Structure 1
Amino acid sequence: MPRPDLFVFFGLIATGKSTVAQAFAEAHDLTYYNSDVVRKELAGLSPQAHQLETADQGIYTSEFSAKTYAALLARAEHDLSQNRGVVLDASYQRKTDRDQVRKLAQRLSVRLYCILCVCPEEEMKRRMAKRALDPQAVSDGRWEIYLKQKERFEAPAELSPDQLITLPTNLPLDTVLQQLAAQLETRP
């Protein structure tokens, strides 16, 4: 039986990570884990409970983020060990967090695809404004948090060309998914 794959959709706030990752997971019957949902679950909150703390406060401290990323890895490991493909959806802005995912993939001998979601800032700003009005929105990402993330984001230079796909997400979802499928077909 072929080994399952691990897909990591990452990037800055409002780049479309969650929309694309969830649609991709559904289309390919993969288990989907969203860092915002897991973070709030660990804090005993509902996914739609809005936390308006600034970066580095409350459930967004580096300690709580480390706990969240560890939970994502544990869930991914469980599913991958059951021969089930996994999609992780989180900012993975630090090399050290991405390294943990790479180590997991190596240890379990599964293929890793890291999809860096990108789009113009104007589109990100529009998405954040729209999300702020949506009572069902899970993400607490706001412009001031984006600016902090942008400052801290470590470029994924550690990822090999076989592992990294940069995906523009400012086109219609179907088009983005088609572009992703075309890029994945070129990978070994």
Structure 2
Amino acid sequence: MGGGATGKSTLATALANEFGLSVLSSDAIRKQRAGIDLYKRLPDAERAHLYEAQVTEGVYQTLANKGLAEIDKFGAVILDATYRNKEYLKQLRVICEQRGVRLVVIQTMATEKTIRERLKKREAEPTISDLRNSDYVSTRFEIEYPIEDYVDFFIKVDTQRTIETLINDDIIPYFMG
């Protein structure tokens, strides 16, 4: 989890490759539920509809349900989403507790300069995410609650370092410790 363009999807993909897991993305689920091509850049009016509260609630519920199905089949899954709204994280925690599933949260962090550079790069290449540089306001896209109050297993990582370094120096030792 983490704010927009903090490296969530890049890290999720790298972890999935490293550990042979599936990644479920809120961005992909959002577009799939709407019947939209994953890489289509939507006009502002259509994009706004995709992020309405009711739509977002359905996306996070679908993410949890599909995640549980993956866990039942394969034992683990990676969920790639902001969880900016603490209610969605609280709901996920309850679902995991009810099913006896251990929830581990990795929060991605980056400076505003890095985030803006990543958003600028997205303008030129296909991406599932609809977040644009013109949308970005740091206070709107940051996590504004103490995540450790909602989960037992939690780590923050600085995605300005290489993915390999994050995995080898931060994430693997966290799980081994």
How many residue pairs end up in the alignment? Answer: 175
Q: Give the unaligned 5+ runs of structure 1.
A: 1-9
Whether contact under 8 Å (2:70, 2:76) holds in the other structure is yes
Runs (4+) of structure 1 moved beyond 4 Å?
A: none
Q: Deviation string for 1:19-39 (max 9, x for gaps)?
A: 001110121111210111110
Structure 1 residues 151 and 16: CA distance shift in structure 2, 3 A: closer
Is 2:43 the partner of 1:47? no
Aligned position for 2:59: 68
Following superposition, the deviation at residue 82 of structure 1 comes to 2.6
2:29 counterpart (25, 29, 38):
38
Whether contact under 8 Å (2:148, 2:154) holds in the other structure is no
Is 2:68 the partner of 1:77? yes
Secondary structure at the counterpart of residue 57 of structure 1: helix
User: RMSD of aligned C-alpha atoms?
Assistant: 2.0
Secondary structure at the counterpart of residue 103 of structure 2: strand
Distance 1:93 1:123 in 2: 19
Aligned position for 2:132: 142
Aligned position for 1:129: 120
Amino acid of the residue matched to residue 35 of structure 1?
A: S
Distance 1:152 1:182 in 2: 24
Is 2:98 the partner of 1:107? yes
Distance 1:47 1:153 in 2: 28
Following superposition, the deviation at residue 83 of structure 1 comes to 4.3
Amino acid of the residue matched to residue 167 of structure 1?
A: V
Among all aligned residue pairs of Structure 1 and Structure 2, give the percentage whose two residues are the same amino acid: 26
1:173 counterpart (128, 148, 163):
163
Structure 1 residues 142 and 30: CA distance shift in structure 2, 3 A: same
Aligned position for 1:28: 19
Whether contact under 8 Å (2:22, 2:78) holds in the other structure is yes
Structure 1 residues 151 and 37: CA distance shift in structure 2, 3 A: closer
Secondary structure at the counterpart of residue 39 of structure 1: helix
Is 2:110 the partner of 1:119? yes
Distance 1:167 1:59 in 2: 29
Q: Deviation string for 1:124-159 (max 9, x for gaps)?
A: 11000001110x211111234331633674332423
User: TM-score if structure 1 supplies the norm length?
Assistant: 0.85
Q: Which has the higher helix share?
A: 2
Following superposition, the deviation at residue 94 of structure 1 comes to 1.2
Aligned position for 1:7: none
